[in-house]
């Protein structure tokens, strides 16, 4: 089930969506610190979001949580993605990404979840 290509694609998607959210909605998603420019912050934050997602995936496998049903899997990873965005944003001085409200975590998490589902379907069916 693990696939290095999938991990890299998730990281790229996360970084891209975070960067696009910053460009389109600069009042909701903020990128950059005194050490990281916005692009570096998007890449770094994308990595940590991906790491949290992968850790949750590992947890589900270790606990034998059945994620075979598409709806159950989508809801599980939707909650994980929202939580990952929120956790990374709470450490804004370190990650370089901040959000103004929890609604931004929900919005970005939904977009990331949909794109992850599409990419996972394409990569695992090849």
Is residue 11 within 8 Å of residue 125, measured between CB atoms? no
Encode burial over 80-101: b for 16+ CB neighbours within 10 A, e otherwise.
bbbbbbbebbeebeebbbbbee
Q: Average pLDDT for residues 66-90, to the nearest whole number?
A: 93
Hey, where are the domains in the chain?
A: 4-124
Q: What is the mean pLDDT of residues 75-87?
A: 95
The pTM is what? 0.90
pLDDT band at 6 (very low <50, low <70, confident <90, very high): confident
DSSP class of 97: E
Mean pLDDT taken over the chain: 91
Radius of gyration of the chain (CA): 14
């Amino acid at each position: 089930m693990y696939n290095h290509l999938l991990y890299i694609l998730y990281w790229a998607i996360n970084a891209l969506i975070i960067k696009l959210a910053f460009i389109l909605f600069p009042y909701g998603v903020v990128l950059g610190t005194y050490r990281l420019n916005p692009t570096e912050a998007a890449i770094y934050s994308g990595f940590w979001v991906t790491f949290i997602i992968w850790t949750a995936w590992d947890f589900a496998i270790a606990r034998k949580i059945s994620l075979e049903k598409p709806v159950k899997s989508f809801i599980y990873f939707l909650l994980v993605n929202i939580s990952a965005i929120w956790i990374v944003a709470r450490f804004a001085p370190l990650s370089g990404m901040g959000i103004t409200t929890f609604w931004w975590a929900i919005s970005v998490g939904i977009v990331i979840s949909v794109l992850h589902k599409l990419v996972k379907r394409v990569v695992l069916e090849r």
